């Protein structure tokens, strides 16, 4: 191949490459195009729900598999004054609120949560970033707590409101962490509000006093510092309306993939 031809090919390749990159960036900023891409989330959720038994369990591991370097993520220590006050009192003043579309709103002390039917499981925590850690969790069955509060038939989602502000720069009031799941995951046998990790009280960096475990989804669904469990018919009007702190910022609401 002649030198001219080689140069020409290299220039054409480089030109096409930069056009391609600029084109992709422009498409990524285009809301119509993003709307098209987001269809895939519906397909992934639909396909997974189609092939998965509602009660199919996430893999559970042996004690020997537990990570000694379980990585905390998101908020490590909430700076919010209300949380700081609860922490200073060793959560004696903590109440877990369960309200929204329920017949019997509840405000449970930690002792009451610990006395509820519980489950212990050693599971793998998969972060959306790509890493995994294995931990042992003990917590109250969410389904048992919801049954005690008696969900109204209109309830479709369970929202977890948290004590931590993860984005202090948000000016629209959507800087607090929150997450939501549907009733299939809310009533899944491995879905618990955990108060113990690796046989010790849940550490602050992992969400003390209570964190959600919803084992068939990625880490950001596992809300830490849970203060209030709200049953709703729609996710509109909560945060920025996408059902969670990270979903409000472009991540999938269905994080089974």
Partner 1 sequence: MADKPAKVLVARHSGVTRITHWLNVLAVSLLLMSGLQIFNAHPALYWGAKSTFAEPWISMKKEEVGGEPRGITTVGGVRFDTTGVLGWSGAEGAREQRGFPSWATVPSYRSLADGRRWHFFFAWLFVANLLVYWLWGLAGGHVRKDLLPTRAQLKPRHILHEIATHARLRFPRGEAARTYNVIQKLTYLLVVVVLLPLMVATGLSMSPGFNAAMPGLIDVFGGRQSARTIHFLAAGGIVVFIVVHLVLVVLSGLWNNLRSMITGRYAIDLEGDRP
Nearest approach, Cβ of residue 193 and partner 1 (Å): 19
Chain centroid to CA 126: 11
Nearer to partner 1, 66 or 116 (CB): 66
Tokens 């596992």: give the residue.
Answer: 222
Nearest approach, Cβ of residue 34 and partner 1 (Å): 7
Nearer to partner 1, 100 or 244 (CB): 244
Nearest approach, Cβ of residue 188 and partner 1 (Å): 9
Nearest approach, Cβ of residue 241 and partner 1 (Å): 16
Q: Which of 110, 151, 218, 226 binds partner 1 (CB under 8 A)?
A: 218
Do 231 and 153 contact (CB within 8 A), yes or no?
A: no
Among the listed ranges 13-21, 149-157, 174-182, 228-236, the one in contact with partner 1 (CB under 8 A) is 13-21
Distance CA 224, CA 197 (A): 13
The distance between the two most distant Cα atoms of the chain, rounded to a whole number of Å, is 82
Tokens of 211: 């964190």
Contact mark string toward partner 1, 121..150, x via CB under 8 A: ---x-xxxxxxxxx----------------
Is 39 an interacting residue with respect to partner 1 (CB under 8 A)?
yes
The site that binds partner 1 (CB under 8 A) totals a number of residues, namely 51
Distance CA 187, CA 185 (A): 5
Nearer to partner 1, 134 or 223 (CB): 134
Is 58 an interacting residue with respect to partner 1 (CB under 8 A)?
yes
Do 214 and 156 contact (CB within 8 A), yes or no?
A: no
Is 57 an interacting residue with respect to partner 1 (CB under 8 A)?
yes
Among the listed ranges 21-29, 142-150, 161-169, 203-211, the one in contact with partner 1 (CB under 8 A) is 21-29
The DSSP result for 184-228, as a single string, is HHHTSTT-EEEEEETTEEPPGGGTTT-EEE-TTS-GGGS-SSEEE
Residue 4, φ and ψ in degrees, nearest 5? -55, -45
Distance CA 133, CA 154 (A): 37
CB neighbours of residue 42 within 10 Å: 11
Nearest approach, Cβ of residue 61 and partner 1 (Å): 7
Distance CA 170, CA 176 (A): 9
Residues that bind partner 1 (CB under 8 A): 1, 9, 17, 20-21, 24-25, 28, 34, 36-41, 43-44, 48, 51-53, 56-59, 61, 65, 67, 69, 71, 124, 126-134, 215-218, 246, 249-252, 256-257
């Amino acid at each position: 191949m002649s030198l001219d031809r080689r140069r020409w090919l290299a220039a054409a390749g480089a030109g096409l490459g930069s056009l391609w990159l600029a084109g992709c960036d422009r498409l990524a900023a285009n809301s119509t195009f993003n709307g098209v891409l987001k269809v895939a989330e519906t397909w992934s959720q639909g396909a997974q729900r189609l092939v998965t038994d509602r009660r199919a369990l996430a893999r559970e591991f042996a004690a020997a598999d537990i990570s000694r370097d379980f990585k905390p993520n998101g908020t490590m220590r909430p700076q919010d004054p209300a949380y700081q006050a609860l922490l200073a009192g060793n959560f004696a003043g903590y109440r877990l609120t369960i309200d929204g579309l329920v017949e019997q709103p509840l405000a449970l002390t930690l002792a009451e949560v610990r006395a509820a039917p519980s489950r212990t499981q050693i599971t793998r925590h998969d972060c959306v970033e790509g890493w995994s850690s294995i931990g042992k969790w003990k917590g109250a069955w969410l389904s048992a707590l919801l049954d005690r509060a008696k969900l109204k038939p209109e309830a479709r989602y369970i929202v977890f409101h948290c004590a931590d502000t993860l984005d202090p720069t948000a000016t629209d009031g959507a800087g607090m962490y929150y997450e939501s799941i549907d009733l299939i995951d809310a009533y899944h046998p491995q879905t618990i509000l955990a108060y113990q990790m690796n046989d010790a009280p849940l550490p602050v960096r992992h969400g003390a006093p209570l964190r959600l475990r919803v084992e068939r989804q990625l880490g950001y669904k596992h809300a830490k510092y849970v203060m209030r469990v709200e049953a709703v018919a729609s996710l509109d009007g909560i945060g920025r309306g996408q059902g969670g702190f990270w979903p409000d910022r472009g991540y999938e609401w269905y994080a089974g993939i």
